[in-house]
């Protein structure tokens, strides 16, 4: 029997998106399932953004917190450190301090930090709220205004607060992350609601919600894979925005990343354990279809960069 490569033609294409002002990055635009370049083109590599916060990351495990100990008290220094020392391609600033339980910083204060961080770096910036539905509606509107003209990615718009956030992203010309909770139908519905407000789907990024390895990763993996199949094979236009995996914040709160070697001797060295946990979560998301990742540990990021180097 002679062999024929079984190729599948995709009718659809992942939408391409460019973000950043001085230096810019492009994600998306592929027309194949992840990394199958024998049957389509993959013009842009996945991108990893380093996560930083507006307040000291007291709740991060030591293994990752220590990596930033000298700079993490100041988001501006932290962003510069990522850009200059770690050679980050992009930075994701999470406005954790605006959460009512984490200091309840005002939207105006958050906007000021956004401005300072933006003026300190020239790589693209992702601006994230604290994931408090009501507060994010205020904070992200102020942040979008503060970053006006800088072509940032802001997020996350969710079912409970998307209207004001979409309007702000529209008015100030940003890209937008739309997040739903692990359900392809909810993801589709939110993308439709947002585009019905006049927001281009070419400026959207889908966040189907990340899960950490061992804590529901299989659901995220399958939802991402199904979104890709819908967008590419069934040419469902509402399922074609690039996908983001917000990896670090889910990974670094599970016990495998911080349980001490004394408590869990069978789990081995804590430093590598956390790094591997984040790297494997992230590389699985890439295989499932993620175009953009937000991560924390420099070594996990370096590892996933190497995986990306092998994949493209």
Partner 1 sequence: MALSGVEIFKLLPKTNCKKCGFPTCLAFAMSLAQAKVDLAKCPDVSEESKKVLGEASAPPIRTFSLGSGGKAVKMGGETVLFRHDKKFINPCVFVLNIKDTLNDDELNKKIDEVLTSEIDRVGQKLRIDAVSIEFASNDAAQYESAVKLISQKAPDTPVILNCKDSSAAEKAVKTIAGKKPLLYGVTASNADAMVNIAKANKIPVGVCAEGLEALSALTEKIKGMGVEDIVMDPGAKTAKEIVELNTQIRRSALKKGFKPLGYPIINSALREDSVLEAAVAGVAVAKYASIVLLGSIEKWKNLALFTLRQNIYTDPQVPMQVEQKIYKVGEPSAEAPLLITTNFSLTYFIVSGEVENSKVPSYLAVMDCEGLSVLTAWAAGKFTAAKIAQFIKDSGVENQVKHRELIIPGQVAILSGALEDKLEGWKITVGPREANALPSFLKSRTA
Out of 185, 198, 262, 266, the residue judged to bind partner 1 by CB under 8 A: 266
Out of 118, 127, 179, 213, the residue judged to bind partner 1 by CB under 8 A: 213
- Bridge-based pairing state of the strands 90-94 and 125-128: parallel
- Told to check if 5 binds partner 1 by CB under 8 A, we report yes
- Told to check if 287 binds partner 1 by CB under 8 A, we report yes
- Told to check if 226 binds partner 1 by CB under 8 A, we report yes
- Told to check if 160 binds partner 1 by CB under 8 A, we report no
Out of 221, 238, 290, 296, the residue judged to bind partner 1 by CB under 8 A: 221
Structural contact between residues 54 and 97, judged by C-beta atoms closer than 8 angstroms = yes
Q: How far apart are CA 278 and CA 249, in angstroms?
A: 10
Q: How far apart are CA 310 and CA 124, in angstroms?
A: 24
Out of 62, 85, 122, 218, the residue judged to bind partner 1 by CB under 8 A: 218
Check the CA dihedral 181-186-192-194 and report its sign: negative
Out of 219, 233, 236, 237, the residue judged to bind partner 1 by CB under 8 A: 219
225 membership: H or E segment, kind and range: helix 217-232
Residues contacting partner 1: total by CB under 8 A: 60
Out of 83, 98, 191, 303, the residue judged to bind partner 1 by CB under 8 A: 303
Question: Residues 15 to 34: which contact partner 1 by CB under 8 A?
Answer: 33-34
Half-sphere exposure (CA, 13 Å, Cβ side) for 254? 20
- Told to check if 186 binds partner 1 by CB under 8 A, we report no
Out of 47, 276, 290, 294, the residue judged to bind partner 1 by CB under 8 A: 276
Measured CA distances, 11 to 4, 14, 234, 263 (Å): 21, 10, 7, 52
- Residues in touch with partner 1 (CB under 8 A): 1-6, 8, 33-38, 59, 101, 131-132, 182, 211, 213-219, 221-222, 225-226, 229, 253-256, 266-270, 272-273, 275-277, 279-280, 283-284, 287-288, 299-300, 303-304, 306-307, 310-312
């Amino acid at each position: 029997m002679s062999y024929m490569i079984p190729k599948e033609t995709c009718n659809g294409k992942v939408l391409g998106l460019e973000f950043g002002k001085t230096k810019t990055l492009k994600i998306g635009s592929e027309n194949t399932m992840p990394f199958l370049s024998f049957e389509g083109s993959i013009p842009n590599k996945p991108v990893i953004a380093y996560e930083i916060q507006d307040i000291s990351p007291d709740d991060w495990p030591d293994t990752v917190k220590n990596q930033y100990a000298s700079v993490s008290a100041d988001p501006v220094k932290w962003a510069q450190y990522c850009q200059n020392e770690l050679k980050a391609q992009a930075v994701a600033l999470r406005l954790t301090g605006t959460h009512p339980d984490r200091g309840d910083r005002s939207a105006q204060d958050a906007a000021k930090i956004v401005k300072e961080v933006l003026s300190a770096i020239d790589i693209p910036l992702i601006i994230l709220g604290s994931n408090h539905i009501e507060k994010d509606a205020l904070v992200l509107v102020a942040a979008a205004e503060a970053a006006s003209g800088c072509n940032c990615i802001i997020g996350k718009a969710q079912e409970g607060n998307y209207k004001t956030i979409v309007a702000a992203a529209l008015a100030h010309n940003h890209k937008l992350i739309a997040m739903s909770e692990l359900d392809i139908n909810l993801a589709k519905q939110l993308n439709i609601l947002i585009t019905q407000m006049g927001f281009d789907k070419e400026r959207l990024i889908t966040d189907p919600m990340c899960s950490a390895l061992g804590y529901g990763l299989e659901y995220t993996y399958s939802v991402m894979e199904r979104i890709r199949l819908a967008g590419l094979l069934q040419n469902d236009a509402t399922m074609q925005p690039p996908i983001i995996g917000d990896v670090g914040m889910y990974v670094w709160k599970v016990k495998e990343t911080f349980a001490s070697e004394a408590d869990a001797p069978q789990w081995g060295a804590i430093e590598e354990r956390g790094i591997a946990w984040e790297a494997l979560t992230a590389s699985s998301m890439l295989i499932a279809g993620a175009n953009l990742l937000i991560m924390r540990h420099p070594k996990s990021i370096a590892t996933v960069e190497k995986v990306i180097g092998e994949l493209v």
